Amino acid sequence: MASHRKPRSRTAGPRTAPVVGITTAALTSIALLSQSATAAPSAPPKPSLEEVQKKVDALYHQAGVATEKYNAAKERTTKQQKRVGDLLDDVAQRTEKLNKARQELGTFAAAQYRTGAVSDTATLLLADDAQDYFDQDQLMSRLTSRQKKAVDDYQTEQAATTKKRTEAAKSLETLTTSQATLRSTKRDVQQKLGDARELLSKLTAEEKARLAAIEKQKQEAARKKAEELARQQAEAEAKRKAAEKARQKENPDTGSGSGTGTGTGSGSTGSGYAAKAAKVIDFAESQMGKPYVWGATGPDSYDCSGLTQAAWKAAGISLPRTTWDQVKVGTTVTTANAQPGDLVFFYDDISHVGIYIGDGKMIHAPKPGANVRVESIYYMPIHSVVRPA
């Protein structure tokens, strides 16, 4: 009997070869793509030294701003701590007076109890609302003059003590806020300085040397601008003296004038300011070489506004703590008319200050890692010049 099964086809074999070829190519492509996907991403390009310099300068500047915020917060905290302490002392004293007044009322209540009389005073002490009870004419008509005085004293001390306790509670809340701000700004300063140190630590010795060369070029450019200012001031002073001499020759009776002759192009401040300025500069020069430390006010280290505050204190003038407050004290003058002792403020945000010593130079506490030193006032962008006294 013949088989009805269909014969197996032999044409499928030749078509399998291309399939194998396509699969191999696909697998190869997948492998290559997999290798590309797992390969480490290329590292970002290393910043140039100029970029590092700008970044470090920016971080130091930001740290300077944060330092002034810290100084302001610290000053507020110190004042608030004193106020809270004074208020708490006052509350303690008033509480003592209140207790004495209460004891005197208690003495009257005890006496009424011993005599068998109705103890209105005792009722007063036990009342939930003393004021309502005081308003009752019946009680006041029964009290002797001494008792009335005791009641009045008790009322007065109770009201005053309650008021002072409320003030103390509010001051404590303000103090807590100031302390939180102080901690926050401290962390901000430390973060900025840490970032700057990390950037510098990644430089090689050769890069650090090149960075120092860039810094030297910056200082040299600032020095030349200071020399130009000194030349202009000297010319202006020479013209002022010549004009003064001509006036004296024409009018011998007018006297010798009030100019100080400091080589700054302005002789209008008088000898009083010059004497104070000399003390300021003497003090500042004696601090040369001491390190910059943010938040420091001396005597072993300073930040910028700490140095200016201490220097003018040596001349008998009390300046505020921060640059933002110091810039408001005194008279603003032009850079061309700057005189020794004047304060030179820098940056649009007024975050740095130095003491002008003449010839376009200043003494200042520059930044972390640097000491108090003489520098051109053109080392940083000038905001304004202020004459404190």
Annotated catalytic residue 352: yes
Query: Residue 330 in contact with residue 389, Cβ under 8 Å?
Result: yes
253 CA to centre of own chain: 53
Q: Cα separation of 383 and 328, whole Å?
A: 13
In the annotation, is 383 catalytic? no
- Residue 337 gets which letter from DSSP? G
Distance, first Cα to last Cα, the chain: 133
Report CA-CA distances (Å) from 94 to 89, 97, 151, 160.
9, 5, 16, 8
- Catalytic residue, from 4, 61, 364, 383: name it: 364
Distance between CA atoms of residues 288 and 373, nearest Å: 6
Please confirm, yes or no, whether 304 is among the known catalytic residues.
yes
- The catalytically annotated residue of 4, 61, 304, 383 is 304
Instruction: Name which of 373, 343, 338, 344 is nearest 358 in CA terms.
Output: 338
What distance in Å separates the CA atoms of residue 320 and residue 304, rounded to the nearest whole number?
13
Active-site hit among 4, 61, 352, 383: 352
Helices (H), the chain: 13-38, 49-115, 120-126, 130-134, 137-142, 145-201, 205-250, 270-286, 304-313, 323-326
Residues in the chain, overall count: 389
60's CB contacts (< 8 A; 6+ apart) are 192, 193, 196, 367, 368
> Whose CA is closest to 78, among 188, 189, 182?
182
Active site residues: 304, 352, 364
